[in-house]
Amino acid sequence: MTPYPPAQRQDIVEEIHGHRVADPYRWLEDADSGDTRDWLAAQDALFHKVVDDLPGRDRLRRRLRELLGAGSVGAPIWRGDRRFFTRRTADQEHPVLYTVDPDGAERVLVDPIALDPDGTTTLDGWQPDKEGRRLAYKISHGGDEESLLYVMDVATGETIEGPIDRARYSAVAWLPGGEAYYYTRRLHARDVPEGEEQYHRRVYLHRVGTEPDTDDVLIFGEGRDKTNYYGVGVSRDGRWLTISSSQGTAPRNDLWIADLSASPPERPELRAVQEGVDAETGLHVGRDGRAYVFTDRDAPRGRLCVADPADPSPDTWTDLVPEDPEAVLSDFAILDGLERPRLLVGWTRHAISEITVHDLETGERLGEVPVPGLGSIGGIVERPEGGHEAWFGYTDNVTPSSVLRYDARTGETTTWASAPGRVEVPEIETRQVVYTSRDGTDVRMLVMSGPGSGPDAPGPRPAILYGYGGFNISLTPAYSASILAWVEAGGVYAIANLRGGSEEGEEWHRAGMRERKQNVFDDFHAAAEKLIADGLTASDRLAISGGSNGGLLVGAALTQRPDLYRAVVCSAPLLDMVRYERFGLGQTWNDEYGTADDPEEFGWLIGYSPYHRVRPGTAYPATLFTTFGSDTRVDPLHARKLCAALQHATASDAPILLRNESEVGHSARSVSRSVDLTTDTLSFMAAQTGLDLGR
C-alpha cells in the first residue's frame, strides 16, 4: 500500500465511570473543518487509485444494470374508485407513484426524476385520503430524509398545499372528506435546546389550506420524552382515532384510543389501551365494529385478539389467532365480502413467509394461501370497502418484486403484476443451514451458490457473509442484483439470521440487544466458522458485509476476529459506541444498545465498541468503509474515525479505504448510484477473495 494519508493523533483521554478512554481522532468528528476536508480528499484519491482499475469492473457494472433492469412494482392501495401503486421500469432511476382513474386510465402522480433530474430527490411516503380525491406525499432532497409534506388534488395532479417541513417519519391519518388529517411534526429548532433538532415530535390536526405554523391544533406529545415517535390512525368510518407512542426504537409502546363521535377531532378524549407495559401493541377497528388487537404482550411471537373499541383494555382481549410456537405473526387482512368472512394472517417461519386463512368470527384455521416459493411477502392489502380479494407483494432470491392476488372464493393465487423489466436471472441454489453459536444456541442462515456448487463441490470458494442483527429487523429472501452477480461469477453468498433480529420473535430480538449484544457478534463468527467447516470457503477467501447496525456488526467482527476474515465492507456504520448518542439519531437507539451515561451500560458499550478495540500491530483484514455525506441517521464520523485508527494500527498490507459519497443519505438512492456503489464494493471484495468477475 501507498502510505496512508497522514492523520494527526490527538492526546485526548477522558475519565468515564473510572475508565480512561482515549479518542485520538476526535477532530474527524467535525466534517466542516479544513483538516477533515483535506483528509477526506486524500482518502478519496487513495480509494480511486486502488479500486478504479480492479479487474472485471466494467462487466460487473453492465451485469448489475441488467439485473436491476427488472424494475419493481408495489401492491395497490384502493381508495374509492381509484387505485394507487408504485412502479419502476428498467430505464427509471426511482419508483414512480401512479394512479388508475375510474375509467381505467393510468397517470403519473409523483415522479422523483421529474422533480429533480439529478436523481437526488426521493419519495419518502404517501397516503391517499379515504375517498381517493387527495394525496398526501413526502419527499426529501439530497438524502437528508427530512420529508417535506405536500397535498395533491388527485384528479388534476395539482399540488394544493405544501411543503410542510419537519415531517420526517410522519404518518398521515385522514379524516373522512379529505379536508383534514392528523400527522406528526418536529418542533422548530428555535423551540428546543441546541443540538436537539432531530427530536421533540408532536401529533397535530391539520386542515388543508391552513397555515401549519399557526393554525395546526396540538393533539398529543407535549411534556413527553423528547425521543418519542408517534403513530396515528383513523378508522375507515372516521369514528375511532388511535395514537401510539414509543421511546425511540424501544420494543414497547403506549397506545390510546378516542371516539371521535363523542368528542371533536380537535379535542379527542383519549383513553389508554396500554400504558407503561413492556410490549408492542397495535389496534385496528374493522368494518364490523370490532377492535383487532395485534400484540406481543404475553406472546413474544405475536397474537391477534378482538375487543370492543369502546373498552379495549387488555383484560377484555379475546384471542382470535393465538401465538404460534415456531412462526412470527407479521400481518393480517380482513375479507368480509363473503357469506363466511375470512381472515388472512401473515407469518414468517424461520425467515420464510406464509399466509394462513382463518374464519373471521372464530379464528379457526381453514387453510393456506398458495405462494410461488420460499420467499418474502409484503403487506397484505384488501379493498377498504370490503370484498373477497387480497393483494400482496412477493419476492425471493431469483424473483423480482411482483404482486400476487388471492381470491377467497376460489382459494387461488394468481400473479396480478410482475416487475416490468425483462431480465435473465442466473440459476442459483439456496439452502437454509442450521449452526450452533458459542453459547449453544441454534442459528439459521441462507446460503446461496451456483448449481452444483454446494457443500460437495471441490475446494473453498470466495464467499460473502452478510448480517444485521438488531432493531427487531428480519432478513428474509429477496431479489438482489448484488447477490445474483456474485453467485453467477462463482461465489458463495450467505445471510445469517442473527439474534437481535425478528426472525424468531421478540425474545430473539432481546437476546441480541443491550447487555446481550455480544451474542450477535458470536452468532456471526459462528456463521463464518460454519461456512469454513463445511468447505464452502476459507478465512482467506471470506468477505463480510453490513450496513448501519450491520456496519457495527462487521466493525465488531473485524476488531474481535481479524484472523477470521479476509475483507470487510462496512457501510454507514456505528463504530464509536461511547459517543454514538451525541450524533444523528443516536439518542433514539439507547434502548437497543444502552447509554454511556450509565456506568453499567457504559461497560457493555466499551466492551465491544470497534473504535476502542483497535490494537496497534494487528494484521487487520482489507476494509472498505462507505459513507454518505447527507446521512442524518448515522453520522459518517464513525467510519472516518475507525478508518484512521485502522490505517495507523494495521500490520498487514491489506488496504484500509474510505469511499465518501455526497448528496445521498442513509436509505433510498437512484439506480445509477446503486450500481456505482455495488460495483465498487463487490469488485473490492472480489479482488481480496480471488473471485474472477470476468466469468
Beta bridge partners of 121: 141
Beta bridge partners of 446: 432, 495
Beta carbons within 8 Å of 62's beta carbon, 6+ residues apart: none
* Strands annotated E in 59-200: 72-73, 77-79, 82-88, 96-100, 106-110, 121-128, 134-141, 148-153, 158-164, 172-174, 180-186
Q: Specify burial of residue 597 (Cβ count, 10 A radius: 0-12, 13-18, 19+).
A: exposed
* Cell reading at 432: 437454509
Beta bridge partners of 658: 625
The single residue listed with the C-alpha cell 412502479 is: 87
Catalytic positions, please? 548, 666
Beta bridge partners of 448: 430, 493
Q: Which residue, 144, 198, 206, is CA-closest to 171?
A: 206
| C-beta neighbour count of 120 within 10 angstroms | 21
Mind spelling out the 3-state secondary structure of 420-469? CCCCCCCCCEEEEEEEECCCCCEEEEEEEECCCCCCCCCCCCCEEEECCC
CA distance linking residue 265 with residue 189, whole number of Å: 27
What is the DSSP secondary structure assignment for residue 95, as one 8-state letter? -
CA distance linking residue 176 with residue 237, whole number of Å: 7
Alpha-carbon torsion (9, 10, 12, 13), positive or negative? positive
CA distance readout (Å), 151 to 70, 160, 167, 180:
31, 6, 13, 11
Q: Which residue, 586, 573, 631, 583, is CA-closest to 143?
A: 631
CA distance linking residue 171 with residue 219, whole number of Å: 14
Beta carbons within 8 Å of 347's beta carbon, 6+ residues apart: 324, 327, 328, 329, 330, 353, 354, 355, 356
Are the beta carbons of 405 and 417 closer than 8 angstroms? no
Helix, strand, or coil (residue 481)? helix
Beta carbons within 8 Å of 70's beta carbon, 6+ residues apart: 90, 400, 419, 421, 422, 423, 425, 479
Phi, psi of 492 (to 5 degrees): -110, 140
Q: In one letter, which amino acid is 171?
A: A
Helix, strand, or coil (residue 331)? strand
Are the beta carbons of 547 and 553 closer than 8 angstroms? no
Are the beta carbons of 142 and 91 closer than 8 angstroms? no
